[in-house]
Amino acid sequence: MKFVRRLLVAFLLIYLLPALASAGLWYIKDRPQSWREADWSSAGLLPKPAESPEAAVYILSATTGGMKGAVASHAWIVTKDEGAPAYTRYEKVGWGKPVRKNAYQADGRWYSNEPHIVVMITGEKAQRLIPKVERAIAKYPYASPGTYRLWPGPNSNTFVAHVLRSVPEIGAVLPPSAVGRDYLPEGKLFHIDSDGRDLHATLYGLAGISAGWRSGLELHFMGLVAGVDIAPAGVKIPALGRFGS
């Protein structure tokens, strides 16, 4: 019984309290009440293609809308071939055709929330990676209507995480607030990235663990992530995000 009590206390401290704190802050925040009222315009985060002709690959993320924004974010992929006149944006949404291409501006706000860059790759390396990214997108197993599930997945973050695991050279992990990122496609319970630098084990996105050079050490519970990063060093706090270098 003492062990169970300690486990419950640990759960409260690590997962529940940060989630409640984030929910409280989100509740008092001024935010749009519906998608119609939200600002979806460019945040001016990315350089204009004409001013930056080199190839580029970006992973972006922004807090999502509604009360789920208290604990969750939405991620998407942006690419640009060398000399291309425009960016290409890919993401998965929960309405209409699930996997969207250029449905929004490349660095558009999401439900009025400013996006941030999770990772940026430019130049020759980006040009090499773009075909791999496109192949991974084409192979995503939940691309047909009716294959979106808000929680625990597969959702928008499951889609981007699939690409990151398929193309580990991108060298990124989605933020702790990316609920659904740890849901492994096709019902898998275990996955090792192709370069062998990260492993993932999950019970259908409800509970699991990730460990490796990119993931550090993470414990997942009900879509919330707690953990530590190796390089760069950092701490991942459920709902609140990542803190560190």
pLDDT, tens digit (0-9, with 9 covering 90-100), for 150-163 = 999 999 999 999 99
Residue 4 lies in a domain: no
Residue 3 lies in a domain: no
- Whether residue 77 is contained in a domain is answered as yes
Say if 1 falls within a structural domain: no
19-74 confidence digits (pLDDT tens)? 878 777 777 777 787 878 899 999 999 999 999 999 999 999 999 998 888 899 99
> What number is the average pLDDT over the span 204-233?
93
pLDDT of residue 94: 85
Range of the domain at 199: 9-244
Identify any residues that bridge with 192 across adjacent strands, giving them in sequence order.
199
Q: Is residue 109 part of a domain?
A: yes
Residue-wise pLDDT tens digits, 90-105: 999 988 888 999 999 9
Tell me whether residue 2 is in a domain: no
Domain count across the chain: 1
Q: Quick one: what percent of the chain has pLDDT higher than 70?
A: 96
DSSP-based three-state secondary structure for 216: strand
pLDDT: is 170 or 17 the higher one? 170
Helix ranges (H only) for 121-244 are 124-138, 156-166
pLDDT band at 4 (very low <50, low <70, confident <90, very high): low
For residues 242 and 240, which has the higher predicted lDDT (pLDDT)?
242
Residue that is written with structure tokens 């991974």 in the block? 136
Within a domain: 157 = yes
Q: Looking at the DSSP assignment, which residues form a beta bridge with residue 117?
A: 60
The strand pair at 224-229 and 234-237 is best described as antiparallel
When pLDDT is cut at 50, 70 and 90, the band that residue 169 belongs to is very high
The mean per-residue pLDDT over the stretch 3-29 comes to 75
Nearest to 170 by CA among 145, 195, 149, 200: 195
Long-range Cβ contacts of 14-22 (<8 Å, 24+ apart): 14/219, 14/226, 14/238, 15/221, 15/222, 15/224, 15/226, 15/238, 18/237, 18/238, 18/239, 18/240, 19/70, 19/71, 19/224, 19/238, 19/239, 21/239, 21/240, 22/70, 22/71, 22/239, 22/240
Tell me how far apart the terminal alpha carbons of the chain are, to the nearest angstrom: 39
* C-alpha 215, offset from chain centre: 13
Q: Looking at the domain assignment, is residue 220 inside a domain? A: yes
Region 177-184: mean pLDDT is 95
